[in-house]
Amino acid sequence: MADRPARRALGGRRPSGALLGVVPFFAYVAVFLIIPTLVVVIGAFVGGKGGFTLSNLRALGQPAVTTALWHSVVLSAVTALAGAVIGALLAYAVSTGRPGGVLKKFITSLCGVLAQFGGVALAFAFLATFSATGYLTKVLTSAGLDSSGGLWLYEWDKGLMLVYLYFQIPLMLIVFLPAVEGLKPQWREATETLGGSTFLYWRKVAAPILMPSFIGGLLLLFTNAFSAYATAAALVSQGSPLLPLEIGGTFTSEVILGQENVGKAMALEMVVVVAVVMTAYVILDRRASRWLVR
Amino acid sequence: MRARTPYTPWCVTLAVATTLVVGACSPPASTSGGGSTSGAGAASATSAKDLGGMDKLVAAAKKEGTLNVIALPPDWANYGAIIKAFGDKYGIKVNSAQPDASSADEISAAQRLKGQPGAPDVFDLGTSVASANTTMFAPYKVATFDSIPATLKDANGTWVNDYGGYMSVGYDSSKVPAPTSLADLLKPAYKGKVALNGDPTKAGAAFAGVQMASLANGGTAGDVTKGVDFFKQLKAAGNFLPVDPTPATIVSGQTPVVMDWDYLNAAQSSKVKTWKVFVPQNAVLGGYYVQAISKDAPHPAAARLWQEFLYSDDGQNLWLKGGARPVRFDAMKTAGTLDQTAAAALPQVSGTPTIPTQADSDKAKAYLAANWANAVG
C-alpha cells in the first residue's frame, strides 16, 4: 500500500515500465509537433526586425488573405461533406458484401492506396487527363463537346474540388467501414420483431450509432483537405487561392520581401480554424454519445 | 519494477529534453580552412590590386580550389556553359547548388549556412532582393569596373548589374499566329494558351510581365493598374493559362505562349524549332539581375575570381550567347570585342526601353499584393 500515492499520480493506473516504451513517441511529438507549433505561434508576433508586434496579425485582414482563407474553408467543407456522404454510402455498400470476399478485399485495399494518392502524382494524373493538352480534353474537343479548353481544372472551386474528392472519398470509406460493419443484424431483427419499418430502423437505431463515427470522419476529411498543400501547389501556380499556398508564397517570394512572419500568422490562423472545428466536434460527439454506451 | 516507477516520469522528461537539445542544435559551425589562411587577405580585398594583381588572385583562388554558386539554372542565360568555362580555365571545382531556387532562397541559404564550407560564395539576385540585403555583400571592383555604366552598379562595387534583357512574348509559331501587339493575345486564337512565368507576387520575371502589360496599355512601370486589368481581361477571355511554364511544358506544348525575359524565351528556340520571341514595340521593359559577393564567402578568392571572369570579355560574351544582354554590351561594342554573331541573334527591339526604378517597383508591388489574387484567382 506504500505505493498508493505514486499510483494516484499516474491516474490510478497500474504503473509499469511500459511507459518507457512511449518515450520515443513523446520525443517525436515534441520535435515534430510541439516545437514547430511554438515556432509558428511565437513567429506570428515577431516583427521583421525582431520585437513584439501585432502587425502580422493585422496583415491577416488583407483581402488576399481573407479570400484565401474563405476559399480554403469552403473547399475543405464541400469536399469533406461530399466525400463523407459518398464515402459513407460506399462503405455501407461494401459492408453488405460477403465477409472476406474478393470484391471487399479488393475495394478496401484499393481505397487504402487511393486515400494516400495525393500530391504531385495525383495532380499529374489530372493534368494528363483534363488539362488543356490532356487526353480527355483533346478527345472531347475534337468531338465538339468541350470548348472550355480544360482551364476549369486550375480553378479552386471546380478542378481542385474534383481532385480533392479523389482522395477524400476513399479515405472516408476506410475510416467509416469499421463502423458500418459494427452494425449487428440482431438490431435490425429486433426492430422488425417489434414492428418497426426499415426507415424507423435507420432513424432510431443505425443513424444514432453511426453518427459519432460519421462526424469523426467528416472532421478528419475537413482537416485533411484544409492542410493539403502539394496537390494544390502542383496544380495551381497563379493567384494562390488557398491559404497553404498563400503561406508558401510568403517564404519563397522574391518580389514582396520580409513576409515570413506574416506567413506564420497565417499558419496560426489555420491552427485556430482547426481548433474551432475540433471543439465543435467534441460538443457534437458528447451529444451524440449521450444515448450510446461505449 | 515498482521501485523504478517514481523515476519513470523523470526518464520521460530527460529523454524529451535530450531530444530537444539534439534537435535544436545545428551542426557546430566549422571554420573553413581556405578562408582562414590564404583567404585572410582575399576576404577584405576590394580589387585584384589589393592582393597584388590578377596572378596572385588566380593563385589564391586555385589554392581554395572550390567555388560555391547557388540558384544558377544551366539553361538560364547560358550559366551551364559559363560554369564549365570557369572551371576549365582555372581548374576550380564549381559546386552548383539548388539550380531552381529563387533569389530569396539564395539569401536564406547564405544565412543558414553562415560559417560553413558549403555556404554560397556569390549571388545572382533579382534587384529587389539585392537592394534589401546589401549588408550581406562584400564590395569588390573587377578590372573592367570602369566600363560598366554608372547607373548599373554601386559606386563601391557592393553590387553590380550583370546581365539583362527585355520582357518578351515567346510563342510556338506552329500552334498560334504571330502576335503583333500584346492586345492580340486577347483574341480567340490564343484561348487557354497564354502563360506568365510565375506568380507576379512571387517571381521577378512575372512581376516584370505585369509591368510590360501595363506599359502596353498606357500605364507605367509604377502604376500597374492597367497591367492587372489586362490580365483580368485575358482571364475573362479564357486565354490566361495559370501554369508555371518550364522548358518541359514548352517542349510538350502545354504552354504555347509564354511571357518571360527574352533571353529565357530565346533559349527555348534551340529545343523547339518553331519557338519565336517577340518584344512588343510600345512596351519595352528592361531589367537587369545583380551580381554580388557574399561577405561570409567560404572561398573569398574564388568568389572574386568568378566576378573577374564574369565581367571579362569572355564571360560577357558567354551571357550574350545565352541571349542575355551583358552589362558591358555598349563598351565592348565600341572596343570591338563583342561577339557579333551572338549580338545579331538578339530579338529585335524598337523604342526606348523602360527600366523601372526602385520607387516604381515598390509602388507596383503594393498594388499587386492587394489586387493580383483577385484578378486571376
The tens place of each residue's pLDDT in chain A, 294 residues long, gives 444 444 455 555 565 677 788 899 999 999 999 999 999 999 999 887 778 888 888 888 888 889 899 999 999 999 999 999 999 999 999 888 877 788 888 888 999 888 888 788 888 888 888 887 788 888 888 887 776 667 888 888 888 899 999 999 999 999 999 888 888 888 889 999 999 888 999 998 888 888 888 988 999 999 999 989 988 888 887 878 899 998 988 888 878 887 888 899 999 999 999 999 889 888 877 776 665 544
Q: Which of A22, A23, A149 sits opposite B238 (nearest CB)?
A: A149
Instruction: Give the rounded distance of the alpha carbon of A36 from its chain centre.
Output: 20
> Grid coordinates representing B315?
564571360
| Closest A-chain CA to B208 | A255
Chain B residues with beta carbon closer than 8 angstroms to that of A151: 192, 238, 241-242
Burial of B126 (0-12, 13-18, 19+ CB in 10 A): buried
Residue A167's nearest CA partner among A136, A122, A198 is: A122
Q: Which residues contact B326 (CB under 8 A, 6 or more apart)?
A: B162, B163, B315, B316, B317, B319, B320, B332
Output the average pLDDT for chain B: 86
Where does the pLDDT of residue B22 fall: very low under 50, low under 70, confident under 90, or very high at 90 and above? very low
Q: What confidence score (pLDDT) does residue A157 get?
A: 84
Q: Give bridge partners of residue B257 from the DSSP assignment.
A: B171, B194
Cβ of B102 within 8 Å of Cβ of A133? The answer is no
Residue A65's nearest CA partner among B353, B176, B369, B149 is: B369
* Residue range B67-89: mean pLDDT, rounded: 93
Q: How far is A166 from chain B (nearest CA, A)?
A: 21
Q: Give bridge partners of residue B285 from the DSSP assignment.
A: B354
Q: What confidence score (pLDDT) does residue A196 get?
A: 87
Helical ranges in A96-227 per DSSP H: 102-115, 119-130, 135-142, 159-181, 185-193, 198-200, 207-227
Cα-based distances in Å from B309 to B3, B89, B315: 72, 10, 6
Q: State pLDDT tens for residues B245-259.
A: 888 889 988 899 999
ipTM for the complex shown: 0.73
Q: Which of B1, B126, B191 sits opposite A16 (nearest CB)?
A: B1
Q: Give bridge partners of residue B68 from the DSSP assignment.
A: B95
Cβ of A249 within 8 Å of Cβ of B373? The answer is no
Q: What confidence score (pLDDT) does residue B282 get?
A: 84
Can you say whether the dihedral through the CA atoms of A170, A174, A179, A182 is positive or negative?
positive
Q: How far is B264 from chain A (nearest CA, A)?
A: 18
> Grid coordinates representing A109?
485495399
| Closest A-chain CA to B190 | A149
Instruction: Provide the chain A residues 123-142 that lie in CB contact (below 8 A) with chain B.
Output: 131-133
Q: Which of B244, B370, B372 sits opposite A237 (nearest CB)?
A: B244
Chain A residues with beta carbon closer than 8 angstroms to that of B8: 15, 17, 19-20
- In the three-class reduction of DSSP (H, G, I as helix; E, B as strand; rest coil), residue B261 is classed as strand
Cβ of B6 within 8 Å of Cβ of A6? The answer is yes
Where does the pLDDT of residue B27 fall: very low under 50, low under 70, confident under 90, or very high at 90 and above? very low
Res. B313: pLDDT tops 70: yes
Cα-based distances in Å from A149 to A112, A134, A235, B183, B229: 33, 9, 16, 20, 22
Q: State pLDDT tens for residues B3-13.
A: 334 444 444 44
Q: What confidence score (pLDDT) does residue A173 get?
A: 93
- In the three-class reduction of DSSP (H, G, I as helix; E, B as strand; rest coil), residue B117 is classed as coil
Q: What confidence score (pLDDT) does residue A12 get?
A: 55
Question: CA B129, CA B204: separation in Å to the nearest integer?
Answer: 10
Q: What confidence score (pLDDT) does residue A233 get?
A: 87
Q: What confidence score (pLDDT) does residue A50 get?
A: 77
Question: CA B102, CA B124: separation in Å to the nearest integer?
Answer: 10
E strand residue ranges, chain B: 66-70, 93-97, 122-125, 137-138, 160-172, 194-196, 257-261, 275-278, 286-294, 325-326
Cβ of A241 within 8 Å of Cβ of B377? The answer is yes
Q: How far is A54 from chain B (nearest CA, A)?
A: 19
Q: What confidence score (pLDDT) does residue B57 get?
A: 94
B168 and B285 Cβ atoms separated by less than 8 Å: no
Question: CA A122, CA B220: separation in Å to the nearest integer?
Answer: 41
Q: State pLDDT tens for residues B163-211.
A: 999 999 999 999 999 999 999 999 999 988 999 998 898 888 899 999 9
Residue B309's nearest CA partner among B89, B150, B68 is: B89
Helical ranges in A20-158 per DSSP H: 23-29, 35-43, 55-59, 63-95, 102-115, 119-130, 135-142
Helices A159-181 & A119-130, crossing angle to 10 degrees? 120
Burial of B313 (0-12, 13-18, 19+ CB in 10 A): middle
CB atoms < 10 A from the CB of A42, how many?
Answer: 13
Q: What confidence score (pLDDT) does residue A84 get?
A: 95
Q: Which of B201, B253, B377 sits opposite A253 (nearest CB)?
A: B201
* Residue range B35-53: mean pLDDT, rounded: 75
Task: Mutation target for B interface from A127, A254, A266: give the one with most B CBs within 10 A.
Answer: A254
Res. B33: pLDDT tops 50: no
